[in-house]
Structure 1
Amino acid sequence: YLELYAEDLIRDLEKGTIASWLELEPTLLSKLENQWSADPVRARELRDILKAEGRLTPKQVWSNLSFLGTARGGTSDFYFERFHEYFGNTPIFGAVYSSAEATFSIYPDVDTDGSVLAIESGFFEFIPEDQWDAEHPKTLLATEVNVGERYRLLTTNYSGFYRYDIGDVVEVVGFYNTAPLIVFRYRRGGTMSATSEKTTEYHATQVMQALQQEFGVTLEDFCFTLSESVVATHYLVNIELAPGQTLDNPQAFLASCDRKLQAANTSYALKRPSNFIPAPRLRILAPGSFAILRQRQLERGVPDSQLKFPHISGDRQFLAGLRVEQEVQLAE
């Protein structure tokens, strides 16, 4: 908003008005206008920043910002790659890992992914990865888990949930005294397979983070999908470049993506050399493509605050209608 509507924001601050293009109910608009007042001094400060820097960013507008509170784990790391551009070295605090059903863990510090199991909010059991497909899986207590292992989390709380499986997969990354430090990795159902390799959002995010660093490019967003053909299905690596970015060697980018995905997902690695899973293809989408996807989800009734954009999707029509500027495949 600061980048797109800087001039409008400054003008409204200066005059005490609300931009006419904002679609607000008349009664709400009237109420806001009665509460809104001009702040020409602040408007002048922002105009000076805009003139000097060419844009407004949070670290410029709020120079005394102490920390950011936002979700950590999962696909968050992909977006954190761009935080420095907007927030500088402002610490990032995960606060609480929770859902409507339970509070799972509390973050002990800033700039850390590991959060302390919230042992006083309920009773927790951990299902090891080798038990996920068992009809009656064996569970471990918090004192029995191992660092580096992944588990499904069961919770029994004070509100009546008994051994409830929310579907989250967590990784134990350490201990705080004797309580496990856990980090959310992905949803149990959040996998994609051309055959049976089960690529997760965490795999995809790891790969795209590494690619951005290797090629010195910033992505607006990305999503792995499957080709429409159900015979010899291949991966489609769909990316949108951030404004002002170019990808000089798309083939090298795609080849590195394939190698990195094999390193991240051993099941994918076993199936690629034999062409059991054909080589992936890269699709560079037109600017604004992921904004269109976001709007589609909002129009389906998903609240903006609960919008979680998937970075892998087995839905072959998920990106239907978006313009592909370039499609790249690996040389034989």
Structure 2
Amino acid sequence: MHLHADQESKRGMGMRLTLTFPVEHTPSGLQVQAATTAYYCSSQFQDHEVGGFDRCTSPMEAILCPDAEQSMYCQLLCGLLNRDSVNHVGTSFANSFVRAIKFLEQNWEEMCSDIRTGSLSGRITHAPLRDAVIQRYLRGPDPALADAVASECAARPWDGIVTRLWPRARCALTIVTGSMAQYIPILWSYCGGRLPIVSPCHASTECAAGVNLRPLDPPSHASYALLPNIAYFEFVEIQPRDEETPTVDDDGDPGEMKLVDLVDVKIGQTYELVVTTFAGLYRYRVGDLLTVTSFYNATPLFHFSGRHDVILSIDHEKISEEELLRAISQAIELHLGPLGYM
């Protein structure tokens, strides 16, 4: 995963903070794990240079480390050690990006000590990870780098901390649609309000679906083009909540529903995604709600707005995820904005 210094300077590297999660088992003994964990633990990921992970600052041992805290510590440390070569930063989802910056805020002094002395903190006890970081990344004491990082981290507030610590970064890659939209304001703050926040793709456990063809659009307007060579996509039209007659019976058989083909979707209309995949899913209702925003040539672009019929119970009040997000956003603007916390 690690490149030599001359290669790094020419090609650039990504600080992609990637975690795997423990595998659980059902009562019958079947494995249950996140789709990303299954992929990162597979030979397809580990034995091939895919998705730019061959040019990321995180060693494979950090990605596969079962201890999330040790993994995050070392991935951020390696990102700081290679700060002049990092050309983009990111995580899978916006909430993970925010947690990573919060973790850095709590641990930067210890990381600076590691950089200054050329040694690794005793908190890293996972042997493969410890050996990888010491042998490939800590190349001896570097007081100048430690001072540079410390001067940026000691400054308050932390507005623009990403651009200050990784000055050559050209974008932040992370999913910010759906429920992740609530993190856009704090991400803008961390990125100094000028580093583009790119929501690169739309994917689910069922299948990878689409890509963002307009990556420099504002993150709140991110839309995706569904790629018909990945799966066969159909759509169930969703009527507004105030309509008396729903288009879809939630207990209906997908085969009996009135489905809309990809070429027949209309701008402004919201649909629930239905997929037929190479893996064997047939007209499977994914549950994602997609709204057609525009066209890229003849290709419709979809904005992911949330999940179909996801209802939350807040103090016995049943509301949708979208309504909760809207309420929180308004509360922040009305109550925290005047106090200077935005």
Bin of the TM-score, shorter chain as denominator length? 0.5 to 0.7
Flag structure 1 segments of 5+ consecutive residues without an equivalent.
219-240, 247-332
Aligned residues: 221
- 1:265-284, CA deviations, whole angstroms, 9 ceiling, x for partnerless residues? xxxxxxxxxxxxxxxxxxxx
Would you identify which runs of 4 or more consecutive aligned residues in structure 1 move more than 6 Å?
none
> What SS is found at the alignment partner of 1:81?
helix
Aligned residue number for residue 64 of structure 1:
168
Residues 164-203 of structure 1 aligned to structure 2 (within 5 Å): 164-192=284-312, 199-203=319-323
Contact 1:2–1:57 (Cα < 8 Å) also in 2 = no
> What SS is found at the alignment partner of 2:291?
strand
Q: Which has the higher helix share?
A: 2
AA in 1 matched with 2:301? L
Is 1:42 aligned with 2:145? yes
> What SS is found at the alignment partner of 1:162?
coil
> What SS is found at the alignment partner of 2:178?
coil
Aligned residue number for residue 104 of structure 2:
2
Q: 1:69 to 1:50 in 2, by over 3 A?
A: closer
1:73 to 142, 153, 177: 177
Give me the whole-angstrom Cα distance separating, in 1, the residues matched to 2:185 and 2:277: 36
1:132 to 240, 243, 248: 248
How far off is 1:86 after superposition?
Answer: 0.7
How far off is 1:215 after superposition?
Answer: 2.5
Aligned residue number for residue 101 of structure 1:
206
How far off is 1:98 after superposition?
Answer: 1.3
How far off is 1:51 after superposition?
Answer: 4.6
Give me the whole-angstrom Cα distance separating, in 2, the residues matched to 1:72 and 1:52: 27
> What SS is found at the alignment partner of 1:206?
helix
AA in 2 matched with 1:14? R
Give me the whole-angstrom Cα distance separating, in 2, the residues matched to 1:185 and 1:174: 15
Aligned residue number for residue 273 of structure 2:
153
Q: TM-score, normalised by structure 1?
A: 0.59
CA-based RMSD of the aligned residues comes to: 3.0
- 1:100-141, CA deviations, whole angstroms, 9 ceiling, x for partnerless residues? 422221101223411112223222111012333252321111
Give me the whole-angstrom Cα distance separating, in 2, the residues matched to 1:25 and 1:202: 41
1:32 to 133, 140, 148: 133
Give me the whole-angstrom Cα distance separating, in 1, the residues matched to 2:266 and 2:318: 23
Q: 1:216 to 1:23 in 2, by over 3 A?
A: same
Residues 209-224 of structure 1 aligned to structure 2 (within 5 Å): 209-217=329-337
- More moved, 92-101 vs 75-84: 92-101
Contact 2:272–2:285 (Cα < 8 Å) also in 1 = yes
Q: 1:154 to 1:54 in 2, by over 3 A?
A: closer
**Percent of aligned pairs sharing the same letter:** 23
AA in 2 matched with 1:60? R
Q: 1:192 to 1:133 in 2, by over 3 A?
A: farther
> What SS is found at the alignment partner of 1:2?
helix
Residues 84-123 of structure 1 aligned to structure 2 (within 5 Å): 84-88=188-192, 89-110=194-215, 111=218, 112-123=221-232
Q: TM-score, normalised by structure 2?
A: 0.57
Flag structure 2 segments of 5+ consecutive residues without an equivalent.
1-102, 239-245
How far off is 1:160 after superposition?
Answer: 2.8
AA in 2 matched with 1:47? A
Contact 1:69–1:92 (Cα < 8 Å) also in 2 = yes
Contact 1:3–1:57 (Cα < 8 Å) also in 2 = no
Give me the whole-angstrom Cα distance separating, in 2, the residues matched to 1:75 and 1:186: 7
Give me the whole-angstrom Cα distance separating, in 2, the residues matched to 1:182 and 1:52: 40
> What SS is found at the alignment partner of 1:159?
coil
Q: 1:197 to 1:167 in 2, by over 3 A?
A: farther
